[in-house]
Structure 1
Amino acid sequence: MISTNPIAQTIFLFALSTALSAIVIRFAISVALTYGIADHPGGHKQHDTITPFVGGVGILIALSIALIMLFNTHPEETLKWLGLGLGSIVIFATGFADDLWQLNYKVRLIIQAAVALVMVLAGGVVLTNLGSLLPDLTLELGLLAVPFTIFATIGGINALNMIDGMDGLAGSLSLVSLLLISTVAFIAGDSSNLTLAAALASGTIGFLYFNLRHASQRRARVFLGDNGSMLLGFLFAWLLVDLSQEPNQAMTPVTAIWLFSIPLMDTISVMLRRVVLRKSPFIPDHNHLHHILLHAGFRIEDTVIAIASLHLLFGIIGLAGLYLGAPEFVMLLGFLLVYAGYFYVTQRPWYFIMALRHLHTILGLTPVEKQGLFLGSYTAQEAESLVRQVSGQLGPSVDSWVQVLEKHSLQRDAGKRYAVAVNIRMVSNDCATDDEIKQYVALLQQRMMEQRGIQIRPFFERNSKNDRRSQNRGNPAGTELRVSERRNPDTGLLILEVMFDKLTLGHPPASGTEKSFSESPAQSRTQSTLQETHQVDE
């Protein structure tokens, strides 16, 4: 007999769902490896091992437990729970088929729309109004309610699916949102949505046990897969719409977007960027926030923590506005301002990457790509001329960053000298694999030598077995010790050494100085900066 005490019932549900989710996923991993139901490296994927994509079964088993409870405690809403169960099974099966056979996005959209229609017609979960987005005026949707609900549901399903690109990220963001939603349902006394959200949160914990990286688990043992991310996205749409609408409204519609902020903002930003570049918004790339953080030197674990913390902050802001009685139009304006800042940062990744690397230096951390390793020894005019030639050769189609770094010399009368490094961020699907990256570098080397007389030499791959770098975090001056470095094989950032014959550079512009050397943003996305660094040997 299931207890009728809400708190005791929730604790029992939480413990049971967590345990069963972990057990079922562990069993599913073994079955998946036996039958080859796994994700293989290649293309835009960053992992380098075969990994099962059966994490969604843990979410599905947690949902099943919640539905059994809901049929028992709320039998008057049997049709609603049948609609929820049917829609979830269909979306899970669609995601699983997509994992196996890569369904066309049009097929996925049609099925997602059908599932959203089931949510509306059988579940009675529909967006009838968007709240008081204007002072003293509630925006009723009327005849647009059903199509808008379908559109919002499809958006939610794909938002979580698109951000699922790193071990632990989608699961961590989902857990944060589900815990916040559980809080809303508990305060409002909405026992049915509390049951659903709590079960899904515990199912997500069971999944994260196998998906998060930690001391005893160097990589994910299972992926959420499209089956899991699409299922969670659908369930988020269900919960957020149901909690924000009458007759038992627990929060405002604008609060819902705060609770789902990071997946929503990241998806909109990435799709807008793809449309601007005249690409399909459904083709994967490496311009999500987590890719930018990786290229800035964050480890995967740190990236997950940073983004999940930001997501939690936005969710808390949304709940604070709800319970402090902030006007809905003010909360909407605040969200739009936050999104504008998010969009600005993610559309200019090199500026953000550069700022984060400075933060790494201040905090005593070490970026993954390079730190304390500087190339060349050139005068200001030579460095400026080299930067202009490299920037012109790369052109606006390459997402690159040319660095000019000031070097300290042990000789007082040596004058200021500068090092030049070219960072190419491999965000195109045309340069996704190791072989394709090598081909790209070889072609770039050939072009630069033939057309500019400049030799480009890639950094060699590090080998920890013969690495003589020091283990301390500092950057010792006057020694031959290199600063320690966390190199992540998942990163797609190339660091190239530029070497040239000074006679081939020609005469630099008369305006050349020892200040920052910059290309016009209107001409190219290549930026160059002059940074003062720690002292290194000449």
Structure 2
Amino acid sequence: MSTNSMPVVLLPIKGEVTKAEIIISLCFFLSFIFSLFVLPRILIISKRKLLYDNPDARKSHSEAIPRLGGLVFIPSVLIALSFSTAFRFLIDFPFNASLTGYTLLELLFLIAGSLFLYLVGVKDDLIGVRYRKKFMAQFLVAFLFPMSGLYINNMYGIFGVYEVPALIGVPFTIVMVVFITNAVNLIDGIDGLAGGGGLVSFLTFGLLYILRQEWIYSMLAFAFVGCLLPFMYYNIWGSAKHGTKLFMGDAGSLSLGYLLSFFAIKYAMYIPEHGMDKCCLVIPLSLLFIPVFDAFRVMVVRYYQRHPLFLADRNHIHHKCLAAGLTHLQSTLLLISYMIIMLFVNLKFAQMMDLNIVLIINILLAILMNYMLNMKIRQRKSAGAKAFDLKIIK
């Protein structure tokens, strides 16, 4: 498998950059407008057909809320990307050699995998899908990445590992795609968290690919930013009482996780002639650290408690934030702010120290944050118990 999935970065040409800015902006606005137009219709359909996510003991909402907001994600992105791509030819800015060979293969396999996983998510949102079948679907679409020549081929010194042979890198990539996809799906438990994290991540990757002059991937990233913005309004500021609140559901979270795993692996893949350094791994690691570490931590806790690894519970970081007394919006702002701050901190650390030390620092800080939340939860429970005892005495 070849690693030549990225073109050599050329010096920017003024006319080319201007055209690229027009195309990327068009892609963003088309996705934004389509999402803005379709989401209210999804609310109407959900109300008429009674397609609601009903509350239960493990969920963080107390009212029935439509969970079909994610239906708009992949259609918005593909419509915007297709129209913008066609428009590139009309303004005499066609794809050059950068969209041939492995790059074209990556894009086609990504679209195929996204559509397939999106449909699995739609079925799950409507009638439910057993987790084994969802895992099978995820492994199937994860296999499409290595088929296009895209896989984790370098660890940049983590655990002393640099170059990774395809025999190890391919299966490791498949496992990581499935793990990241599920981690993003699991973090989607409070208003705005998965969407906000995705928004920051796609915005970051979109800007990074502008710098690399890989316009097609920047278009793809900004198309996702465009469709997420209207959804975030309905998800965070929508009212269940007035029927304007939406969840993204599995169709949205699975699509979000799959696309994020693609961008993370694509950006981290080592290309010798590009002079890439460890920051190419630090950026994806920083953007996805919260959902990935949280999913891993929860699985470890379930294993030691002899609970089923895939049994839903309320032990995730966002559940702890709520139990510590934070609102949905406060919890989301806390975690998104932490992600953004650590992105810049990690980039600075990566210039100063070994990548293993950077990873250890991130793990220790995440453990500390969980510990502080656990302390706050215990204090609230203790205060609640004392208040209850005083009430009984009175």
**TM-score between the two structures when normalised by the length of structure 1:** 0.61
Residue 382 of structure 2, aligned match among 391, 399, 402: 402
Structure-1 separation of matches of 2:391 and 2:335: 38
Residue 155 of structure 2, aligned match among 121, 125, 130: 130
Partner of 2:357: 333
CA offset at residue 311 of structure 1? 1.3
Q: Is the 8 Å Cα contact of residues 53 and 224 (structure 1) preserved in structure 2?
A: yes
- In the TM superposition, what are the counterparts of 1:296-375 in structure 2 within 5 Å? 296-321=324-349, 325-326=351-352, 330-346=354-370, 349-353=373-377
Cα gap change, 1:171 to 1:279, in 2 (>3 Å):
same
Partner of 2:215: 191
Structure-1 separation of matches of 2:182 and 2:199: 17
The aligned amino acid for 2:382 is: V
Q: Is the 8 Å Cα contact of residues 206 and 222 (structure 2) preserved in structure 1?
A: yes
Structure-2 separation of matches of 1:343 and 1:132: 23
Structure with greater proportional strand content: 1
Partner of 1:239: 263
Q: Secondary structure at the match of 2:334?
A: helix
CA offset at residue 52 of structure 1? 1.6
Which structure 1 residue ranges, 5 or more long, are not aligned?
358-368, 370-400, 404-420, 424-494, 502-537
Structure-1 separation of matches of 2:134 and 2:357: 33
Partner of 2:30: 16
Structure-1 separation of matches of 2:68 and 2:375: 38
Partner of 2:4: none
1:45 aligns with 2:59: yes
Structure-2 separation of matches of 1:498 and 1:261: 43
Cα gap change, 1:352 to 1:186, in 2 (>3 Å):
farther
CA offset at residue 160 of structure 1? 0.6
Residue 74 of structure 2, aligned match among 57, 60, 63: 60
Cα gap change, 1:190 to 1:98, in 2 (>3 Å):
same
Structure-2 separation of matches of 1:217 and 1:14: 31
Q: Is the 8 Å Cα contact of residues 155 and 163 (structure 2) preserved in structure 1?
A: yes
Structure with greater proportional helix content: 2
Structure-2 separation of matches of 1:44 and 1:7: 45
Aligned positions, number: 363
Q: Is the 8 Å Cα contact of residues 154 and 163 (structure 2) preserved in structure 1?
A: yes
Q: Secondary structure at the match of 1:38?
A: coil
1:496 aligns with 2:393: no
CA offset at residue 235 of structure 1? 0.3
Structure-2 separation of matches of 1:296 and 1:220: 27
CA offset at residue 220 of structure 1? 6.4
Deviations 1:275-334 (A, max 9, x none): 121111211211222222222222222111111111111222344456xx455xx23422
Cα gap change, 1:269 to 1:97, in 2 (>3 Å):
same
CA offset at residue 120 of structure 1? 2.1
Q: Give the structure, 1 or 2, with the largest relative contact order (CA under 8 Å, sep 6 or more).
A: 2
The aligned amino acid for 1:252 is: C
Deviations 1:128-175 (A, max 9, x none): 22223267x624143111110110000110011001111111111111
Partner of 2:119: 93
Q: Secondary structure at the match of 1:317?
A: helix
Cα gap change, 1:11 to 1:499, in 2 (>3 Å):
closer
Partner of 1:258: 286
Structure-2 separation of matches of 1:42 and 1:500: 29
**TM-score between the two structures when normalised by the length of structure 2:** 0.82
Structure-1 separation of matches of 2:122 and 2:240: 29
CA offset at residue 23 of structure 1? 1.2
CA offset at residue 194 of structure 1? 1.2
Deviations 1:306-363 (A, max 9, x none): 11111111222344456xx455xx2342232222332354267431446xx7xxxxxx
Q: Is the 8 Å Cα contact of residues 53 and 225 (structure 1) preserved in structure 2?
A: yes
Partner of 1:229: 253
Residue 289 of structure 1, aligned match among 297, 317, 331: 317
Q: Is the 8 Å Cα contact of residues 176 and 311 (structure 1) preserved in structure 2?
A: no
Cα gap change, 1:8 to 1:292, in 2 (>3 Å):
same
Q: Is the 8 Å Cα contact of residues 422 and 497 (structure 1) preserved in structure 2?
A: yes
Structure-2 separation of matches of 1:280 and 1:345: 25
- In the TM superposition, what are the counterparts of 1:499-514 in structure 2 within 5 Å? none
Deviations 1:406-462 (A, max 9, x none): xxxxxxxxxxxxxxx528xxxxxxxxxxxxxxxxxxxxxxxxxxxxxxxxxxxxxxx
Q: Is the 8 Å Cα contact of residues 17 and 203 (structure 1) preserved in structure 2?
A: yes
Cα gap change, 1:265 to 1:352, in 2 (>3 Å):
farther
CA offset at residue 224 of structure 1? 0.8
CA offset at residue 222 of structure 1? 0.9
Partner of 1:413: none
CA offset at residue 100 of structure 1? 2.8
Structure-1 separation of matches of 2:127 and 2:57: 15
Partner of 1:276: 304
Percent identity for Structure 1 against Structure 2: 24
CA offset at residue 217 of structure 1? 9.1
Q: Is the 8 Å Cα contact of residues 240 and 256 (structure 1) preserved in structure 2?
A: yes
**Who wins on radius of gyration, i.e. which is larger?**
1
- In the TM superposition, what are the counterparts of 1:196-235 in structure 2 within 5 Å? 196-213=220-237, 221-235=245-259
The aligned amino acid for 2:297 is: S
CA offset at residue 49 of structure 1? 2.3
Structure-2 separation of matches of 1:258 and 1:332: 14
The aligned amino acid for 2:25 is: I
Q: Is the 8 Å Cα contact of residues 63 and 240 (structure 2) preserved in structure 1?
A: no
Deviations 1:492-530 (A, max 9, x none): xxx7336789xxxxxxxxxxxxxxxxxxxxxxxxxxxxx
Structure-2 separation of matches of 1:18 and 1:225: 19
Deviations 1:354-379 (A, max 9, x none): 6xx7xxxxxxxxxxx7xxxxxxxxxx
Q: Which runs of 4+ in 1 moved over 3 A?
A: 69-75, 214-220, 246-251, 318-322, 347-350, 498-501
CA offset at residue 265 of structure 1? 1.8
- In the TM superposition, what are the counterparts of 1:464-483 in structure 2 within 5 Å? none
Structure-2 separation of matches of 1:65 and 1:199: 9
Structure-2 separation of matches of 1:104 and 1:332: 38
Which structure 2 residue ranges, 5 or more long, are not aligned?
1-15, 89-93
Cα gap change, 1:58 to 1:321, in 2 (>3 Å):
farther
Structure-2 separation of matches of 1:110 and 1:154: 10
Cα gap change, 1:198 to 1:500, in 2 (>3 Å):
closer
Residue 118 of structure 1, aligned match among 141, 144, 148: 144
Q: Is the 8 Å Cα contact of residues 168 and 213 (structure 1) preserved in structure 2?
A: no
Structure-1 separation of matches of 2:50 and 2:61: 17
Q: Is the 8 Å Cα contact of residues 154 and 270 (structure 2) preserved in structure 1?
A: no
Q: Is the 8 Å Cα contact of residues 35 and 230 (structure 2) preserved in structure 1?
A: yes
